[in-house]
Homo-oligomer: A and B are copies of this chain.
Amino acid sequence: MAAFLSERRQLILKLVVQEFVETATPVASDTLVRKYGLNFSSATVRNELAALEELGYLTHLHTSAGRVPTDIGYRYFVENLMDRLALSSAEQRMIRHQFYQVRGELDQWLQLAGAVLARTAQNASLVTPPRSDTLRFRSLELIAIHETMALAVLVFHGGTIKQQTLSFDSVRNGEDLRRIAARISDRCQDCTFTQIEELLTQAQTAPLDDFERLLYDLVVRAMRGYADQAAEQFYSDGLIEMLSQPEFIPALVREEDAVRAVERMRRTLELLKNGRALGPLIPQVLASDGVQVIIGGEHGEDAMREYSVVLARYGVDGSVTGVLGVIGPTRMAYPRSISTVRYISSVMSDLMSGLYGAEPRQPEE
């Protein structure tokens, strides 16, 4: 991958990326010299820029425009040139503090993670709920709402909860419900849904009556449904932050792009909403440790060609895992995005450990 680049070319590439990320305008040779006090002239820089362009790291919109990094350029930057700075400890403290304040509510954690990611990276964020690939039943509780209606709460290993209201024909009192729920809870302890299905075929554990059968059905369907809707559900935040990026402000962009900015925006929203932006990447992220960066066209989807995604897994190994990250224009502050994603994922992992019962690991970095 890493074609060899002379020290100077590396420096110049790095500066181009940083400058472009900062200003969002194509960077000119003498801007580099002036702004960073390089001890060689703009003509030299021009030669190097031309070489870097030849090698595929940079492009040119037209003759008299400055240089812009290509996907390959960004990739090289992320891989080799980037300063890997962590979030300041003040920021870390602040973030931790916020999570501490909503102690105990998974939904809120997810939402908060999304909000913090968005704010810190100034881009849109995505957070999938933590999931277990083999969901195991823990217990069922039935809470009477009135005589012929109850709330079924299914608790699974790893803290996943599903709730559903349930109506039935015959009148049942609380004690009755409790007894049946306990029976089912006991029998299905630690089972996957296929195991529960097997159980049902065995004579000695056959359901007592129609009602109990109904409940088993509910459990199996819920667990099966959980497996199906794998990557379809997720939290998203930071639309506004992303849309505040210059890419989406026509006044700052070339005329023609201005007209298409909205079109692009709409398509992006669509991608975000239906999960096509994230879905295909999830297996890849789950299968690997650390932060994954997908830059522009590296993502298969054509509509994603102008966007980058920074993702990380979080959760507890072998139990529940989710994916979180940020998405934004390829012109993204990668160091900041990456360290934010890394940090939040470690915080979330700790929280999940807590939920699942393991001791929290020491916070990373």
Contacts and interface: CB of A to CB of B under 8 A. Distances in A.
Contacts of A248: 262, 266
- Stoichiometry (number of copies): 2
Interface string A145-178: 1100101010100010101111100000000000
Contact of A143 (B149, B155, B167): B155
A183 B266 CA distance: 54
A221 to B, nearest CB: 11
Interface stretch (A239-247, A299-307, A323-331): A239-247
Contacts of A138: 145
Interface in A173-199: none
A143 B145 CA distance: 17
Contacts of A250: 250, 258-259, 261-262
A55 B234 CA distance: 51
Nearest to A239: B269
Contacts of A244: 266
A145 B159 contact: yes
Interface in A221-246: 239-240, 243-244
Nearest to A149: B357
B262 A240 contact: no
Interface string A326-343: 000000000000000000
A91 interface: no
A354 interface: yes
A249 interface: yes
A159 B165 contact: yes
B151 A143 contact: no
Interface residues of A, number: 42
B151 A145 contact: no
Contacts of A60: none
Contact of A258 (B139, B149, B259): B259
A104 B166 contact: yes
A276 interface: no
Contact of A357 (B146, B243, B262): B146
Interface string A66-88: 00000000000000000000000
A251 interface: yes
A153 B165 contact: no
A282 interface: no
29 contacts: A104-B164, A104-B167, A105-B163, A105-B165, A139-B144, A141-B141, A141-B143, A145-B355, A146-B357, A151-B155, A151-B161, A153-B153, A153-B163, A163-B163, A239-B269, A240-B266, A240-B269, A240-B270, A243-B266, A244-B266, A248-B262, A248-B266, A250-B259, A250-B261, A250-B262, A251-B259, A261-B262, A262-B265, A265-B265
9 shortest interchain CB distances as A-B pairs: A146-B357, A104-B165, A104-B164, A243-B266, A250-B259, A251-B259, A240-B269, A143-B155, A105-B164
